[in-house]
Amino acid sequence: MLIKTIAAACLVCASAATLAQATDTLKKITDSGKITLAYRESSVPFSYLAGGLQPIGMSVDLSNAVTDAVKKRLNMPNLKVEWQAVTSANRIPLVTNGTIDLECGSTTNNSTRAKEVQFSINIFYTGTRLLTKKTSGVKNYGDLAKKTYATTSGSTNALVMRKYTSDNKIDTEVLLGKDHADSMLMVDAGRAVAFAMDDILLFGLIGTAKNPAEWEVVGDALQVEPYACMMRKDDPKFAEVVNGTIGGLMKSGEFEKLYTKWFMQPIPPRNTAVGLPMNKELRDNLKALSDKPAL
């Protein structure tokens, strides 16, 4: 009995040690000689592809800033950087299973997700609205009755819309796109009348559309949600680097310069500006440095 008890205790200790090692991202990076960063293919202007092989966007710039801090912290100036495309559906599993070390895209920081991952200081605040063709006749959520709308699989917007349409007894159907570009394509092809998503992403997609003048963002913002970068839980050393980098950019004024670059100035691929000034929630967080989640 004593031998079995000791064996069981050793197994628990070994499991704990394995878990601790698995969540030590800086050690993982040191041992492998590389850091793996996530990117989104169509989350304009946060993280997207614009004709090249490398992702661009404000969140990409933040990821690169964190990487520079990691290189300095580990004294690894030649650290290899790898980029991994993710979707709304697979981004959390790829963080938790160790495939990617940091995900900065357009991910809502909420309490449910915080059970699986850790979030950084909030980097943006947004709300769900509708992207539609100006000829659709859709101006608000009630106009979706007896019609089909699209949203992206794995997004919080899918849950928000399901609850809102149910609570308000709006009889509608939903199609789930694999990513934001796919959801917008459903509207463009006439399979859906609107695309429900974070308003900033919708404005960004209009800027990259073939005919931007055909599109508009309509509807009341259903909720205000923060975006933040994701990393593995129970990893205080890596979280210190991530939050130290983002917080430092916010305190120094460099974060606001990044915001101006990606939201107020012309950006690829069509060299048009999103034209969205920083909202009060984000401006307040440049001082508060809060990682408070949405409910």
What pLDDT shows up at residue 223?
Answer: 84
Count the neighbouring beta carbons within 10 Å of the beta carbon of residue 30: 16
- Summarised one tens digit per residue, pLDDT across range 37-61 is 999 999 999 999 998 789 999 999 9
Give strand pairing partners of 108.
227
Q: Percentage of the chain with pLDDT > 70?
A: 93
Question: Does the pLDDT at position 1 exceed 70?
Answer: no
Query: Which residue bears the tokens 């463009």?
Result: 188
Q: Which fold has domain 2-125+226-288?
A: D-Maltodextrin-Binding Protein; domain 2 (3.40.190)
pLDDT in tens, 189-234: 999 999 999 999 999 999 889 899 999 999 998 988 999 999 999 9
Q: What is the pLDDT of residue 207?
A: 86
Superfamily (CATH) of domain 128-223: Periplasmic binding protein-like II (3.40.190.10)
* Topology agreement, domain 2-125+226-288 and domain 128-223: yes
Query: Region 56-78: what's the mean pLDDT?
Result: 98
pLDDT number for residue 295: 74
Q: What is the pLDDT of residue 54?
A: 92
What is the signed CA dihedral for 276, 280, 286, 291, rounded to 10 degrees?
-100
pTM: 0.81
Phi, psi (rounded to 5 degrees) for 115 = -75, -20
| Neighbour tally for 290: CB within 10 Å | 14
Q: What is the pLDDT of residues 6-46, one digit of tens each?
A: 444 443 343 334 444 458 999 999 999 999 999 999 999 99
Measure the CA–CA gap between 262 and 59, rounded to whole angstroms. 10
State the pLDDT confidence band at 158, using cuts at 50, 70 and 90.
very high
Residue 43's nearest CA partner among 66, 21, 62 is 62
Q: Among 80, 33, 40, which residue's Cα sits nearest to residue 179?
A: 40
Percent of the chain topping pLDDT 90: 84
Phi, psi of 148 (to 5 degrees): -115, 135
**CB-CB neighbours of 233 under 10 Å:** 15
Mapped onto helix, strand or coil, the DSSP state of residue 271 is coil
Nearest to 39 by CA among 52, 24, 28: 52
Domain boundaries, the chain: 2-125+226-288, 128-223
